[in-house]
Amino acid sequence: MKSKVLLRKIDSYHLDSIEVFVRESINLLENSYQLFSTGKKILLKPNLLRGFASEKCVTTHPILIEAVCRVLKDLGVSQIDLSDSPAIGSLPSVARKAGYSDLLKRYGVRIVPLSNPVPLISEENIAHLKIAGNIREYDSIINLPKFKSHCQMTLTLSIKNLFGLVIGKRKPVLHCLVKNDKLTFGKMLIDIAKHVAPSLTIIDGIHAMQGNGPINGTPYPLRLLAAGKDMTALDRVMAEIVNVPFDKLYTLEAAKIKNYGQWDLRKIDCGEFSNLDTLKVSDFKLAKFPVDISFNPFRLVKSVIKQFYVVGVKEKLTG
């Protein structure tokens, strides 16, 4: 059976149009009414890397989050929480800057910090790999990545987004522990994805980021939403649309090696867009100067100091 990927051309962040897409995405799932029903607790995992306004395309757009909340509330979901582990800044502050403040007022969404890091045994035997244990308090996880170029991993899409469930400064440490082997890092991401196993992934590619992502790139009007359960299939399709070769997206190469999800385009059902040529773009720019996966130790120390200053001083002064 082919993996299903739902694609939709959408020019702008229009709430009603995105809500229709979210409903169709949930209907893709065979057991959707059991997953998202009365009494269920759902965790939303957007990309909240840093505290930027939505037009910078660093974070998942708040309108997509709102559309998901609307649909879940209509289905009777009793509790919707949202979490991530920002690189710099506290989660509440980053979420506020990204435009998520109204979610609490309108839908009762809780911004919940990740907690209780638990060891995750990796087939690559990567030391100190731990992810948030509190994600197991939820009945389902919805993965909501932002489509972005990435100076280390080429693109950050469905699978890469779940790396945000590693808490705080453990992330750059893990970057260093893989000894600058991007394929090994990709395999670690696959192990995380297997463990987290989100029920649904919806990629925000309406306004994507190109260039020197995941922070310093520029907006790109890709005008696409994509959804499905198979994250490998999703990432494969989206990489094809922006003409990124299979062997340049290390998470896909790792997924093929570890037999995780569907990487073969011939075995992916994209519905009305069976011919992806109608969606392909030729001018999407990747990072001009790709960088190593490992962080310079001085950069890591600088990041720790900056996080201490932003959370411990700057956020308190600005309220």
Reported as a pLDDT band with limits 50, 70 and 90, residue 89 is: very high
How much is the pLDDT for 109? 97
Is the pLDDT at 174 greater than 90? The verdict is: no
CA–CA dist 117, 197 (Å, integer)? 17
User: Does the bond joining 119 to the residue before it have cis omega, within 30 degrees of 0?
Assistant: no
Contact 22, 14 (CB under 8 A): no
How much is the pLDDT for 126? 83
Give this prediction's pTM: 0.94
Evaluated on CA atoms 175, 157, 110, 117, the torsion sign reads negative
Provide the b/e sequence for 225-251 (b: ≥16 CB within 10 Å).
bbbbbbbbbbbbbbbbbbebeeeebbb
Torsion of CA 201, 235, 100, 171, to 10 degrees: 110
Taking the alpha carbons at both ends of the chain, their separation in whole angstroms is 53
- Quote the DSSP letter at residue 310: I
Is the pLDDT at 303 greater than 70? The verdict is: no
CA–CA dist 202, 95 (Å, integer)? 19
CA separation, residue 29 to residues 132, 197, 221, 292 (Å): 26, 14, 28, 38
3-14 mean pLDDT? 97
Contact 165, 141 (CB under 8 A): no
Token representation of residue 52: 């930027």
Reported as a pLDDT band with limits 50, 70 and 90, residue 150 is: very high
How much is the pLDDT for 33? 80
How much is the pLDDT for 16? 97
The highest-confidence range among 112-126, 204-218, 281-295, by mean pLDDT, is 204-218
231-242 mean pLDDT? 98
The pLDDT tens digits of the residues spanning 35-87 come to 999 999 999 999 999 999 999 999 999 999 999 999 999 999 999 999 999 99
Token representation of residue 123: 């087939």
CA–CA dist 124, 239 (Å, integer)? 25
Percent of the chain with pLDDT over 90: 79
Averaged pLDDT score across all residues of the chain: 92
CA–CA dist 289, 308 (Å, integer)? 29
How much is the pLDDT for 313? 61
Token representation of residue 85: 């582990």
How much is the pLDDT for 300? 56
| Domains in the chain: ranges and CATH | 3-318 (3.40.50)
How much is the pLDDT for 171? 78
